[in-house]
Chains A and B, each alone.
Chain A
Amino acid sequence: MTALGSFALYAALVVTLYGLAAGILGLRRRDPVLLESSRRAVAGWAGCIALAAAALLYALVTRDFSIRFVAETTRADLPLLYAVTAFWGGHAGSLLLWALVLALYGAVAASSGLRRLPAAPIVFLVLLGTAAFFTLILAASGNPFEALRIPPPDGRGLNPLLRNPWMAAHPPALYLGFVGTTVPFALAVAALASGDPDGATLRAARPWVRLGWLFLTVGLLFGAKWSYVVLGWGGYWAWDPVENAALMPWLTGAAYLHSVQVFERDGTLRRWTAGLLMLSFALAILGTFLTRSGVLSSVHAFANSSVGPYFVVFLAFLVAGSAALLLRRRRDAGAADAGAGGQIDSLLSREAAFLANNVLLVTAAGAVLLGTLFPILAEVVTGDRINVGPPYFNQVLLPVVVLLLLLMAVGPLLSWRRSDPREMGVLLAAPGALGALAALGGAALGIRHPAALLIGALCVFTAAATVVEAGRGAEVRRRRGDALPVALVRVAARARTRYGGYLVHLGLLIMLAGITGSSVFTTQTQTALRPGERVRLGRYEVRYDEVSAVEGAGLTVTAAALTAFDGRGAVSLEARHVHHRAQDAITAEVAIHSTWRDDLYVVLIGLSGDRRATFRILLNPMVAWLWAGAALMVAGGTIAALPARRRVSPGVLEDARQSAQPELVR
């Protein structure tokens, strides 16, 4: 497997370099044979990477300890699931996963309709350039097939923190999102480099961004869930640099998904839209750099390596190249925007709302970037490393979130070009009243936290406005005789992207409510109990029953059994310590009793000789809302990302009727 895997990597490098040479020469000589060969090189490279990935997977599953990576990330007694997920459990494997995902996207791009775009050769050239960078790093610095002269009888095993189903799924989903920014980036470069007079190249990025953004959402969600159930600190988002690195392209991707609608409608915001795609890719590369370089302390330190400088050079190259392209097209794009009527007629228009939304999302990404890189910047300027924590992010982002919520409510109701303020007032009256009622209701229930009241009221207002907007389309059909649910389904089926987007908005609102509730109203206690003793927290009384220890394959599991009473019934819980004998490391398994109202969250801190156990118990309100909202976002994103059904235009239908082709008409 060592020889096969290494061969596949070296061959991949050769094929990408060939593809780059063929592409550059083909463009210079306007030679279609060379350009076609360059396109095929993308598929050839993808095949080589797939072969390398298959070789590594086989080596992991068969525990081929003659390969250093396998010996360092697996053991003979590791369950098959984690032997497979060990693929991304170390630096070299996760780099190969990056390349594999890029290979997947590249192969699809090379065989999809993108190849018919006039600027397709540039798209493939950019893909090959990115592929060459990652293959070069793999072959030169992170070869996962490095052989051991004498294989050990058993491996070291997977990092215990990674032995969790959420972490098994988190990196692939996140990488599908991160790497999903590559094809849109290539399309943006191609659009700017070629001029893209009809905007087809830039428009072609939209389905790719939707898909990548969806995967990024799923990846972030899985990571948050892992943090919540494994790390045992009671939270799901810590503003960790690597978490932030995944959030930033998510924000700029969301900005693109809104700005492209303006571009698709009248051709304006061309450079801005292309710039967002470039920024998303640069942020994805920055995220990969932060994960691997170790320049910032992070819970993702297990992937640290020495490839940081390569990423810095690559990042500098692509930022400089993107900036140069954007500047080069400044005059052309300005003319195109002007020609397309490139100005906003009214502040009360959908274009203005989208522009404001973009400014806010990019501002949020910028604020997150500043907070993430602040320790490095501070060290450069003052010599001391100063970290900014959650207070910075919460204070900076709260106004942005408030304004975004307002826009999310108003924007979908606005018309293109200009809206009637009175009509807007009528449409927003009921949502506004509901929002105000929510604020008053919250205050009456004793909520005194201003930010929580504001966010809660805005969530209700925006959700109601979204329902009003979704209902407007359905109302038209209902008047034609459809029942309201049928009308809603039919209108949503006809405009999947739009209604999928509304579901994403509703999911985000539910999630925001959950985040607000769990951030502001969490209560906790830490206590040492003997078996039979009880502690009270909120509406729960928790009894510590007993402790037991079980030996498993390579593990010793110490479990503390508890019973939680809420006045109406009792639930059994088990908080565990898992001792991974091979690594001599202990991980916690948190006991969680989840309801729509709150999560009872119990962490076993330690055990003492007199059978006393120390627990940290938290009551986290509305966490289930977060997961439910996120699931709704993913569902909406999936609906929006589904490929559109091919529609037969009326003209074609007429032609078909005239030429008596019943199968087309049917």
Chain B
Amino acid sequence: MRSMLVAIVIALAPIAAAAAPSPPAPPGVDIGLLLLAVDAKRDHLRVSEALRLSNTGPARTLELRVPLPEGAAYLAVHRGIERWLRTAGGFTAVLRVPAGISEVAYSYALPSGRTAVMIRSFPLRVQRLEVVARGRGVGLELDGGGPVDAVLLGAETLPRWEVRALPAGEPVTILLDRLPVSHPWLPAAGASGIAVVLGTGLIRHLRRGPPPGEETSSR
């Protein structure tokens, strides 16, 4: 049922973000936890991805090709990446991975409509992917995942879904709906309302004609 719903939304959604192919995963390194937070703003999404890397081998330098959804803009790297280069389908990151646990974080923005479908895949195996969405009334679903306890952030309750044991390069579909959108027609509609009121008043006055005997002194 959920798969069918996702398929329908993918077909209807104005923005369907496709994934680029991932490189083969290096042995001994995977993502223990990947937290993907979506902040739903008017007409766009701010997406933050925080990866907790787990390295069972020695420290090493990795070059990862991270695919980003189509239309991703304003990529900002916050933590854990030494050098990076924006490419057509995402970005290539060079990172120094120490033995044990380390963290990488980056964010980007995506255009959105009333609904959005993000197809994400990651260059490493993900033990647990958690997706949280923020925004009033925003609906969240993950194809192949399940809902878990919502996150309480101040007065807000954020829906949370998770997927476990996601193989490297395996796409996961994130479905968002009831996203905030702007109404670009509103200003014109408001002004049209004023035009109708003024126009109607003018026409009614013209039909009545000027009061008898009243004339302006201007020539």
Contact = CB atoms under 8 A, between A and B. Distances in A.
A3 B186 contact: yes
A6 B211 CA distance: 38
A153 to B, nearest CB: 6
Contact of B218 (A7, A15, A152, A194): A194
A147 to B, nearest CB: 7
B194 interface: yes
Most chain A beta-carbon neighbours within 10 Å: one of B184, B190, B216 = B216
Given A15-B194, A33-B205, A150 B109 contact: yes
Interface string B196-215: 00110010011000110011
A265 to B, nearest CB: 25
A122 B218 contact: yes
B195 A14 contact: yes
Contact of A22 (B44, B110, B111, B202): B202
B218 A27 contact: yes
A321 interface: no
B111 A147 contact: no
A11 B43 CA distance: 25
A29 interface: yes
B218 A121 contact: yes
A3 B43 contact: no
A11 B197 CA distance: 12
Contacts of A4: 187
A133 interface: no
A66 interface: yes
A412 B51 CA distance: 84
A9 B206 CA distance: 27
Most chain A beta-carbon neighbours within 10 Å: one of B44, B183, B187, B217 = B187
Contacts of A10: 187-188, 190-191
Given A6-B187, A11-B194, A120 B202 contact: no
Contact of B73 (A15, A34, A150): A150
Interface string A124-160: 0000000000000000000000010111110000000
Given A3-B183, A15-B194, A150-B110, A32 B214 contact: yes
Contacts of B190: 7, 10-11
A2 B187 CA distance: 9
A13 B191 contact: yes
A30 interface: yes
A387 to B, nearest CB: 43
A35 B218 contact: yes
A25 interface: yes
Contact of A32 (B43, B184, B216): B216
Contacts of B192: 14
Given A30-B210, A150-B111, A118 B191 contact: no
A21 interface: yes
B128 to A, nearest CB: 29
B215 A30 contact: yes
Nearest to A119: B218
A84 B74 CA distance: 26
Given A3-B186, A10-B188, A30-B210, 4 more contacts: A7-B190, A14-B191, A32-B216, A149-B44
Interface of B: 42-44, 73-74, 76, 109-111, 182-184, 186-188, 190-192, 194-195, 198-199, 202, 205-206, 210-211, 214-219
6 contacts: A18-B195, A26-B216, A32-B210, A121-B216, A150-B110, A194-B219
